[in-house]
Amino acid sequence: MDQFKNIIDDFKTTISSIDNQRELLVTKNIFVKKHVSPLFGQLKQLNELEAKKAFGKDLNYLQETIQQLFEEKNQQLEINLDQSIKPAYDLMIPALDLVDGSIHPLNLVINQIVDFFKKFNFTITNYPELVSTKHCFDDLNIPLDHPGRSTTDTFYVNDKQLLRTHCTAGTIEAVASMNKHKDIRVISFGNVYRNDTDDATHSHQFMQMDFMWVKKDLSLANLKWFVTKFIEHMFGNDLKTRFRLSHFPFTEPSFEVDVECWNCQSGCFLCKKTRWIEIMGSGILHPKVLEAAHIDSEKMVGIAAGIGIERIAMLKNNITDIRDFYLNDFRFIKQFYE
């Protein structure tokens, strides 16, 4: 019994100067492994039944006592910790007024866009921002000598991968995955990247939305009707629109879509004295784009359009500097309560 009493006394001495719970637990485990565990080997070596019973009883007492001493010390350390923390808090100090949050203006625009396309049963997709040159350029009929492929315009990771320059890289991949369907409707949005110098109207990173609708017998009339409905949804019914012939490698024919300036009648800073504001690019998908998605361009027709989300937000709210969206200045963001 003296052997067990000495072990208990040693344990008391060992833990007496410990001042944190983690060290206490580690010390206890080491102590038990060194001083208690070997006693089980001694127990097995005893042959006499009575001696074995007595030794086992003392060994149980030793374990219980060490555990009790550990718990008492741990509880005391817990109390000490609580007491040391309490002075740091004064529950009588008045709380600071919490400022109401609001949805970021770009998210407000995205929500409005999604509401429109949901009404027409479009599939909403979002693909990785790191894409292959195949999806970003080749599948969209963008030639090898196109300026958009240049390292001065695009962020390349290696020869075959880049940060996407438009969401269409994901949209066409989604269309290709649905190429057996007779009516394909896809919208994609997210961050895109251009190697531009940041200024009031340009950013190396911005957000874009585009859609593709592939179906038999679609026409320019369908494109014009659908794009006009989208603009009315985003800006109201009172704006006049016009479609100007343009050129994009992935659509033929291609159109720039303008809306009549709502800020003036004769020209202003917003419309750059033209009375028209460019909104988006659109067109009929080029047959090579459909073929790259394994869709028969003789039987199916695709209409498509794309627009910058910051552009919509800037026009809707008369914002003149695109950089304002990314400064996280609450004075700016709080203006856009729903």
Binding residues for Mg(2+), as ranges, are 252
Residue 245 phi/psi, 5-degree rounding, is -60, 135
| CA gap 308, 189 in Å, rounded | 9
Residues 186 and 122 sit within 8 Å (Cβ to Cβ): yes
Please state whether the peptide bond connecting residue 253 to the residue before it is cis, i.e. omega within 30 degrees of 0.
yes
| CA gap 59, 36 in Å, rounded | 8
Which of helix, strand or coil describes residue 216?
A: coil
CA dist 20 → 12, 14, 44, 76, 81 (Å) = 15, 13, 36, 10, 8
Tell me how far the alpha carbon of residue 71 is from its chain's centroid.
Answer: 46
Q: How big is the CA angle at 326 (ends 324 and 105), to the nearest 5 degrees?
A: 75
Annotated binding site: 252
Residues 317 and 336 sit within 8 Å (Cβ to Cβ): yes
Contacts 24+ apart (CB under 8 A), 238-242: 238/262, 241/279, 242/276
Q: What share of the chain is helix, strand, coil (3-state, %, to 5)?
A: 45, 20, 35
Following DSSP, what letter does each residue of 22-54 receive, concatenated? HHHHHHHHHHIIIIIHHHHHHHHH--SHHHHHH
